[in-house]
Amino acid sequence: MKLIINTVNLLIGGAFQRSVSFLNELKDFGRDQYHVFYNDNIAKQVDINSFPHNFKFYYFKYSPASLRYRRKIIREFYKIEEEVKPDVVFSFVGPCYWNAKSPHLVGFGVPHIVYDDYAYVKSYSLMTKLEMIYKKFWTKYEADYFVVQTEDVRQRLAERIGVDINKVFLVSNGIGKQYKDIQTFKRPASNVKRLLMISTYRPSKNFEIMKQVVPLLENDKYKYEFHITIKQEDYDQHFKGFEKVIINHGHVKASECPNLYLECDAMFLPSHLECFSASYPEAMKMERPILTSNLSFAHTVCGNAAIYFDNSNAKEIALNIKNLFSNEKIYLDLVNEGRNRLRIFDNSREQAEKYLEICGQIASS
């Protein structure tokens, strides 16, 4: 089987990290012919010179997401596709703004499309709504098949864009290779409790709620810190004056994330929207309790392994944080629930195997 694997449009975030894990797993066991479209960011985390001879890499400085460069890049995509004659093109996450001529499998990662019934999405400005219509068009137009990470998203996507649900495949997210041999342990007792949020900055992530929660945690028996991983320019813009309680680690590599969990006491994710956040299974693996938004995307992934809150209610969030650290039973019960819940997710090797299995099904159909 010959595959084109397209990662050119991935720069940062969860999908980017999963694509890195996918390529590294594929290097270890993949026996097909792989033609990989990649960019500078992928090159920083994937040693392309270490791959065997059944891999060929094609570098692209820009993504078709850029209207300025789209036509030129797409021409090059088509040229390579014509030369390779792949059985399947797998664009790891869309929209990739390319309607490949070969059977095209595209990973789905635009939660606004499937969760358009959320109040947050309904409150979008006209310009943002127009942008979402544009992405929805490309999501349907460019793909012959889709792969998603939860059954909830699978059902919603088929309904929202009117495609046959049998063309929407499911591969659950999970922990990456970097977590495989990690030994977990509880952070030593301290009067400072640390909450970790591993994410790039986007308005949908709801980072700003931290600034409302911080003063509500004052005068408690514990002191609290929020630890985040956003670009320094975003941190300077949004968190000036909060440096002592909202601590930024900057962009971190996937390999550095396990140690961040070990240095913190709980995972905090107040997002308005997610298709799937790897932070959920990662926190379960690292035996850190989860505090997150009381929304269906979170319940689908976490089940009973999380404390849920109204992510627009700072008082409710602060109360839940205090309750977690004042009750050892709640803390340990969440860790145990997470440990059990983790079994339902695919690890990075299982994900890679399932992606190839899906490509095989498509190639033979």
* 38 — pLDDT class (breaks 50, 70, 90): very high
Neighbour-count burial of 303, counting CB atoms closer than 10 A to its CB (0-12 exposed, 13-18 middle, 19+ buried): middle
Q: Does residue 12 surpass a pLDDT of 80?
A: no
Q: Does residue 180 surpass a pLDDT of 90?
A: no
Residue 7: half-sphere exposure toward Cβ, Cα within 13 Å: 29
* 151 — pLDDT class (breaks 50, 70, 90): very high
CATH of domain 2-173+346-364: 3.40.50.2000
Q: What's residue 144's pLDDT?
A: 97
Q: Does residue 177 surpass a pLDDT of 80?
A: no
Report residue 305 as tokens. Answer: 């392994």
* CB-CB contact of 297 with 275 (8 Å): yes
Is residue 74 helix, strand or coil? Answer: helix
C-alpha closest to that of 62 among 34, 96, 32, 94: 96
pLDDT, greater one: 220 or 255: 220
Q: What's residue 82's pLDDT?
A: 97
Listed by start position, the domains of the chain span 2-173+346-364, 178-344
Q: What's residue 268's pLDDT?
A: 98
At residue 106, what are phi and psi to the nearest 5 degrees?
A: -125, 130
Q: What's residue 121's pLDDT?
A: 95
Q: Does residue 14 surpass a pLDDT of 80?
A: no
Distance in angstroms (rounded) separating the CA atoms of residues 147 and 92: 9
C-alpha closest to that of 317 among 291, 288, 299, 295: 291
- Tell me the longest C-alpha to C-alpha distance in the chain: 67
* 183 — pLDDT class (breaks 50, 70, 90): confident
Each residue's pLDDT tens digit, 193-244: 999 999 999 999 999 999 999 999 998 999 999 999 999 999 999 999 999 9
Q: Does domain 178-344 have CATH number 3.40.50.2000?
A: yes
Q: What's residue 138's pLDDT?
A: 95
Distance in angstroms (rounded) separating the CA atoms of residues 86 and 261: 41
pTM summary value: 0.88
Cite the DSSP H helix spans in 123-161. Answer: 126-142, 151-161
Q: Output the CA–CA distances (angstroms, integers) from residue 53 to 2, 35, 87, in the order listed.
A: 13, 11, 19
What letters, b where the CB count within 10 A reaches 16 and e where it falls short, cover 163-184? beeeebbebbbbbbbbbeeeee
Distance in angstroms (rounded) separating the CA atoms of residues 171 and 150: 7
Q: Does residue 156 surpass a pLDDT of 90?
A: yes
Each residue's pLDDT tens digit, 86-132: 999 999 999 999 999 999 999 999 999 999 999 999 999 999 999 99
Q: Output the CA–CA distances (angstroms, integers) from residue 100 to 22, 104, 231, 292, 363, in the order listed.
A: 21, 6, 34, 38, 14
Distance in angstroms (rounded) separating the CA atoms of residues 162 and 54: 37
Q: What's residue 11's pLDDT?
A: 78
Q: What angle do CA 271, 276, 280 make, to 5 degrees?
A: 75
Distance in angstroms (rounded) separating the CA atoms of residues 287 and 339: 7
The proportion of the chain whose per-residue pLDDT surpasses 90, expressed as a percent, equals: 86
The two counts, helices (H) then strands (E), for the chain are 15, 13
Same fold, 2-173+346-364 and 178-344: yes
49: CB partners within 8 A, 6+ apart: none
* CB-CB contact of 116 with 160 (8 Å): yes
Is residue 228 helix, strand or coil? Answer: strand
Distance in angstroms (rounded) separating the CA atoms of residues 33 and 359: 12
Q: What's residue 254's pLDDT?
A: 81
Query: How far does CA 301 lie from the centroid of its chain?
Result: 13
Report residue 30 as tokens. Answer: 């993949």
**What average pLDDT does range 242-262 have in this prediction?**
92
